[in-house]
Amino acid sequence: MSEYVVTVNGIKKSVHFLNGTEIFIDDIKHEYELVKITAESYLLKLDNTFYEIPSGIKNGGGSLITVGGENYEVIVRSSLQEKAAGLIEKKKALSNKMEVKAPMPGMIVKLKYKEGTRVEHGDAVLILEAMKMENEVRSPFSGIIKNFFVREGVTVEKGTVLFLIE
């Protein structure tokens, strides 16, 4: 059984092909027939309704389909491709946020910025005193300090989350 995820105008549908005439769309069984009309279009019969579908693919792997004068953006992926795309999107979202952790145990001497402040890559965000030396904890990239999880005068262990930058 072939399994796909079809996204139409941002709405995802699970599609399972049982055989050459039956299909499940979101667990609802339908009968279908797909016939190639020309090199650029197909005729889809879905439960006694006919749709002419162009076969062009646009940038991003999707197709722009016009049915009855209405445009639909359609992306078809196998279940595995959909999972991979989800993991890539999740990684992109996480890469825009970062928890900055204490590189060593010590005491927070000074917070140099307030939450909501924009900092640049390499800016010293706070001072961590360890073994009688003041160490600057710097921003790993340019962004906005979303949260501080520590305050001045607090002792932290190595690996303690100090702040979140986005």
What is the predicted pLDDT for the residue at 118?
Answer: 94
Structural domain total, the chain: 2
Residues 51 and 107 in one domain: no
Q: What is the pLDDT of residues 11-61, one digit of tens each?
A: 999 999 888 899 999 999 999 998 889 887 888 888 988 888 776 655 556
The DSSP output letter for 122 is T
Residues 79 and 116 in one domain: no
Residues 70 and 138 in one domain: no
Question: What CATH number has the domain bearing residue 54?
Answer: 3.30.700.30
Residue-range definition of the domain harbouring residue 50: 2-95
Helices (H), 2-140: 79-95
Residues 21 and 49 in one domain: yes
Q: Are 114 and 145 in contact (CB under 8 A)?
A: yes
List 39's β-bridge partners, or say none: none
Q: Which residue has the tokens 């197709």?
A: 63
| 109 has pLDDT over 80 | yes
What is the predicted pLDDT for the residue at 40?
Answer: 79
Q: What is the pLDDT of residues 149-159, one digit of tens each?
A: 999 999 999 99
43: part of which helix (H) or strand (E)? strand 41-46
**Beta strands 98-101 and 106-111: pairing type?**
unpaired
